[in-house]
Structure 1
Amino acid sequence: MRFQDNAFILFFLASFCQYVHGARAVHRPKEKMTTSEEVKPWVRTIYGSLNEIVTPTVIAGVTFSAKPDPTPNPLQPWVSLKKDGTPQTIKPEIKKGRTQKQKPDYSTYFKTATMHTFSYEELKAVNMDPNDVHEEEEFVDEDDTYVSLNPIIRCTPDRYFSKGPAKDIPSEPFCTPRENSDWKVGKTYFVTWYTRFFEDENSDTVADKVRVHLSYVKEKSVEMGNHKRDISGTFFTSEWIDNVDGLLPIEIKEDWLQNTYERRIIVSVQPYNIPDEDFDPRLNGVLLYIRMGSKVYKPTKEQLALQDAGISDDKWYYIALSIPTVVVIFFVLMYFFLYANGKNRDFTDVTRKALNKKRRVLGKFSEMKKFKTMRNHKYTELPSYKKTGKQN
């Protein structure tokens, strides 16, 4: 075998060994303690005269129903949510006399608009006639008796995101999680929605109870072009909860994966006034992934494009895993083939034929069209110089 063949094979094997050595195994997340624990209860008075014992609860590091400070603090930390629904604490600060990162203002999103009619006797305005009336729109604040105990940012329409393959579909009623987010086993994520979205058009009343569904989604490669998805079944359904909260913490269980590393699911919220047979989780649901653990690699641009397009199929993983094996087998067979036929290889005939094809007979210069007009001189007609004495 020639030296070039040996060098090429050794270089490939060294590169492959380096690639395998640099790979890391997937580590399962360690078991964590429960995300909920009891803290000291406290007493408050609600609706003027009713006493209530409040028991704070800690979920994913966030304390709900905590006892408020005696005096309002504009720099009181509050909890925001990342794209996947994990909490992060925001600490307001004062810079150049202005408070930055302060708790969000929800404007009129949770207020009720009413028309108040004023008579002349009520206003007695100087520019009103005794028979005139004045109508003015007013916004009535919501009952924050229990909403005030929630430290997490609330979902409002200005926090909607765009979803779908073309990113042209509003995420209503959801603010978190974002589409194609990763939910990992053992962690807790918050699903948040705009509570006023579930308002009855006929009665103008908002649904008081809702429940959250998690359903499997199976996407087949033959259906990817049409973006069709088959809802295999709902594997998680919460109890009926108060819609006024607008959120639900969900801890991801390992058995939801059904002995796989990853599953595609859809999150949906069902209001109390819609029966089960009329509820479609695909109508306003959000697609995302539940995974066994952290990834050991960053997704490529092609993988991100597939996720944005909503494409997921187990065949992609099988193909990705089989490519390195096929490459190794190919080069091993090539090595033994070259080794076995090293003495029988002779390429001199091939190279000789190739060189002969490149050779051309030019012929005489006088017969070429390009040089016919040129006047050739004999060698004897060239100028000559006599040698001087010094040169002798």
Structure 2
Amino acid sequence: MRFHDNIFAFFFLASICQHVHGARQGIRPKEKMTTSEEVQNWKRTIYKSIVEIVTPTVIAGVTFSAKPEETPNPLKPWVSLGHDGKAKTIKPKIDKGQTKKGTPDYSTYFKTASAHTYSYDELKAHNMDPNEVFEEVEFIDEDDTYVSLNPIIRCTPHNYFFKGFAKDISSEPFCTPYHTSRWKVGETYFVTWYTRFFEHEHSGEVADEVRVHLSYVKESYADKGNYKRDVKGAFFSYDWIKNVDGLQAVEVKEDWLQGEFERSIVVSVQPRYIPEDEFDPLQNGVVLHITKGSRVFKPTKEQLALDEAGITNGQWYYVALSIPTVVVIFFVFMYFFLYANGNNRDFTDVTRNALNKKRRVLGKFSEMKRFKNMKNHKYTELPSYKKTSKQN
């Protein structure tokens, strides 16, 4: 066989192999981009003259105190929170000339209102009477020296949710997590609250420091109402932190479950001006569940309604067992009642009245509407026939 014949045969066999069912060309896997880049410290000047070195911190994939961009970017991603307090990145976009999902606008929630009164001599306005007084309310921006380094959405009353069976109880001061949320072991969640909620009733000053507590909640029906109402009963308490950011990162530990698959806890925030012996973790706390992982089954609407109403598994068993017990007691009571009144049962009057209601007098047929137009012949006018011989 000649050389060019061998080449032809080789290409022919190669084309056949490419069309064999199930055969495909090898695909080189995409190279994964890796980087050893670490978050670097950076310096800045605050309050016009104070030089400060800032150390960024990464928590649950979120970088706090990162160096801001030299040119502000309106499409810069920001961090929002799910109902359970899990961080999620939001990327703004421009749609028809408008920015969608942009950085949150906090309105005047973190501004301080200041009222000013001006007389005519101070303003000398051309449309102002000499005896007139002008009042103006000015909103002063807060000091954002450190607040601006927090990339997570801040909690405001606008983001409160409603809890309770009728969904009519405000979640103040919390925005996350939602009531009856589920936290998984090993995951990190953010507890957020409205910082200006913790305002001293006498001085009017907002708390400078707060402390987050985690306490167990009794679930059995027998222990209902016996919740631990002091800080000493908390199984975990964080250190005092600045209230200005209004958030606390919580990493769920497995030993918090104490060997169980799921436990209910209450999250509460204690301001510095409330002593530990006077602080009630249930007054403004949020109840949620910590679990080892996802269950096989999905909670039904009925189960979620029971959780919202505070009826736990132990309580539901008591309610379910009480139903047949009530039915049995009812039938036993009816048996003895009928047995005791056996000689006094006479239903003839009831039966007679019922039968009399069924006996109705119809009246004459000629007076009935449906028979008025019918021609009724007498019996004597009916046709008659004589018998023939064959019939005899």
Structures share a fold, TM > 0.5?
yes
Contact 2:219–2:314 under 8 Å retained in 1: no
Contact 1:212–1:267 under 8 Å retained in 2: yes
Residue 192 of structure 1 aligns to a residue whose secondary structure is strand
Residue 148 of structure 1 aligns to a residue whose secondary structure is helix
Residue 88 of structure 2 aligns to a residue whose secondary structure is strand
Aligned to 1:331: none
Contact 1:214–1:234 under 8 Å retained in 2: yes
Matches within 5 A, 1:348-387: none
Q: Match of 1:146, as an amino acid?
A: Y
Residue 118 of structure 1 aligns to a residue whose secondary structure is strand
Aligned to 1:216: 216
Structure 2 unaligned regions, length at least 5 = 1-36, 318-392
Provide the C-alpha distance between the structure 2 equivalents of 1:267 and 1:196, rounded to a whole number of angstroms: 18
Provide the C-alpha distance between the structure 1 equivalents of 2:252 and 2:302, rounded to a whole number of angstroms: 27
Residue 217 of structure 2 aligns to a residue whose secondary structure is strand
Contact 2:220–2:315 under 8 Å retained in 1: no
Superposition deviation, residue 293 in structure 1:
1.3
Relative to structure 1, the CA distance from residue 198 to residue 152 in structure 2 (aligned partners, 3 Å threshold; closer, same or farther) is same
- Alignment deviations for residues 196-236 of structure 1 (CA, whole Å, 9 cap, x no partner): 10112322210111000000001222576xxx352383111
Superposition deviation, residue 316 in structure 1:
7.3
Q: Match of 2:182, as an amino acid?
A: D
Aligned to 1:44: 44
Relative to structure 1, the CA distance from residue 118 to residue 288 in structure 2 (aligned partners, 3 Å threshold; closer, same or farther) is same
Q: Match of 1:194, as an amino acid?
A: Y
Provide the C-alpha distance between the structure 2 equivalents of 1:251 and 1:282, rounded to a whole number of angstroms: 21
Superposition deviation, residue 38 in structure 1:
6.8
- Alignment deviations for residues 207-266 of structure 1 (CA, whole Å, 9 cap, x no partner): 111000000001222576xxx352383111111111111000010111111111111100
The alignment of Structure 1 onto Structure 2 pairs a total of residues equal to 278
Provide the C-alpha distance between the structure 1 equivalents of 2:134 and 2:123, rounded to a whole number of angstroms: 9
Superposition deviation, residue 118 in structure 1:
2.5
2:91 paired with 1:94: no
Provide the C-alpha distance between the structure 2 equivalents of 1:299 and 1:306, rounded to a whole number of angstroms: 11
Superposition deviation, residue 122 in structure 1:
3.9
Provide the C-alpha distance between the structure 2 equivalents of 1:166 and 1:132, rounded to a whole number of angstroms: 51
Aligned to 2:227: 230
Aligned to 2:358: none
Matches within 5 A, 1:185-196: 185-196=185-196
2:197 paired with 1:197: yes
Provide the C-alpha distance between the structure 1 equivalents of 2:156 and 2:226, rounded to a whole number of angstroms: 28
Q: Match of 1:285, as an amino acid?
A: G
Which stretch shifts more, 176-185 or 199-208?
199-208
Provide the C-alpha distance between the structure 1 equivalents of 2:308 and 2:316, rounded to a whole number of angstroms: 16
Aligned to 1:17: none
2:26 paired with 1:59: no
- Alignment deviations for residues 286-320 of structure 1 (CA, whole Å, 9 cap, x no partner): 00001111222211233222222223346879xxx
Aligned to 2:296: 296
Provide the C-alpha distance between the structure 2 equivalents of 1:291 and 1:273, rounded to a whole number of angstroms: 33
Contact 1:38–1:55 under 8 Å retained in 2: no
Relative to structure 1, the CA distance from residue 289 to residue 129 in structure 2 (aligned partners, 3 Å threshold; closer, same or farther) is same
Provide the C-alpha distance between the structure 1 equivalents of 2:50 and 2:314, rounded to a whole number of angstroms: 57
Max radius of gyration: which structure?
A: 2
Aligned to 2:105: 105
Matches within 5 A, 1:160-171: 160-171=160-171
- TM-score, normalization by structure 1: 0.68
Give the RMSD, CA atoms, in angstroms. 2.0
Superposition deviation, residue 133 in structure 1:
3.5
Contact 1:38–1:56 under 8 Å retained in 2: no
Residue 228 of structure 2 aligns to a residue whose secondary structure is strand
Relative to structure 1, the CA distance from residue 238 to residue 181 in structure 2 (aligned partners, 3 Å threshold; closer, same or farther) is same
Q: Match of 2:198, as an amino acid?
A: F
Provide the C-alpha distance between the structure 1 equivalents of 2:40 and 2:118, rounded to a whole number of angstroms: 49
Same amino acid, percent of matched pairs: 69
Relative to structure 1, the CA distance from residue 314 to residue 184 in structure 2 (aligned partners, 3 Å threshold; closer, same or farther) is farther
- TM-score, normalization by structure 2: 0.68
Aligned to 1:277: 277
Contact 1:180–1:308 under 8 Å retained in 2: yes
Superposition deviation, residue 132 in structure 1:
4.2
Residue 218 of structure 1 aligns to a residue whose secondary structure is coil
Residue 244 of structure 2 aligns to a residue whose secondary structure is helix
Q: Match of 1:62, as an amino acid?
A: V
Contact 1:74–1:102 under 8 Å retained in 2: yes
Q: Match of 1:231, as an amino acid?
A: K
Residue 245 of structure 1 aligns to a residue whose secondary structure is coil
Matches within 5 A, 1:24-43: 39-43=39-43
Aligned to 2:77: 77
2:114 paired with 1:126: no
- Alignment deviations for residues 177-204 of structure 1 (CA, whole Å, 9 cap, x no partner): 0000001110000000000101123222
Aligned to 2:175: 175
Provide the C-alpha distance between the structure 1 equivalents of 2:301 and 2:155, rounded to a whole number of angstroms: 30
Q: Match of 1:127, as an amino acid?
A: N
Relative to structure 1, the CA distance from residue 229 to residue 175 in structure 2 (aligned partners, 3 Å threshold; closer, same or farther) is farther
Provide the C-alpha distance between the structure 2 equivalents of 1:164 and 1:315, rounded to a whole number of angstroms: 17
Provide the C-alpha distance between the structure 2 equivalents of 1:203 and 1:210, rounded to a whole number of angstroms: 17
Provide the C-alpha distance between the structure 2 equivalents of 1:255 and 1:223, rounded to a whole number of angstroms: 23
Q: Match of 1:43, as an amino acid?
A: K
Contact 1:85–1:189 under 8 Å retained in 2: yes
Contact 1:38–1:58 under 8 Å retained in 2: no
Contact 2:116–2:135 under 8 Å retained in 1: yes
